[in-house]
Amino acid sequence: MKAFKLFIIGILLFGATATEAQVSINVNIGTPPAWGPVGYDDVAYYFLPDIQIYFDIRKAEYIYFGNGRWIRSRRLPSYCSNYDLYRGYKVPLTDYRGNTPYVYYNTHKVKYYKGYKGKPQKARGHYKEEHRDEERQDNRRDDHHDRGHGKNHDKGNHGRGRD
């Protein structure tokens, strides 16, 4: 009987531990980046007007047009290697919930032109010079798989390219 009670207690403890780990993992998925603006925890995408690129918060991927198609990448493209995410303006797309925000690119690029500044923003995290250096190094490493060769990009152009 004593062994049976220990067995039941062991199962309950194991179940509680597994449940706790699952909750921990789910909480971290889709967390906005430190450079993201405060007050927009419920949005799925940012549009970065200065470089005309989207950021998918849930997947932590940039979405940009290149080589005739929309590409998803964990890094900014090499032509944005000097872009400062902490200081650049971010447009939280509060009215879009799908998986392809770029279908509205022609509207976004006009409404949120290069140099666009809306209301003042405060970044979620603290800006540190080492963040900028780390981002530059990451962006220079342009991984071959992130350049549109593989599973991480949308093969459809949807008829909306950069002008």
The tens digit of pLDDT for each residue in 53-62 reads 999 999 999 9
Least confident of 38-47, 62-71, 92-101, 126-135: 126-135
Q: Which residue has the higher pLDDT, 103 or 1?
A: 103
User: Residues 6 or more apart from 139 whose CB is under 8 A from it?
Assistant: 75, 76, 77, 78, 80, 81
- Is the predicted pLDDT of residue 32 greater than 80, yes or no? yes
Nearest Cα to 135, choosing from 146, 123, 127?
127
Least confident of 12-16, 65-69, 137-141: 137-141
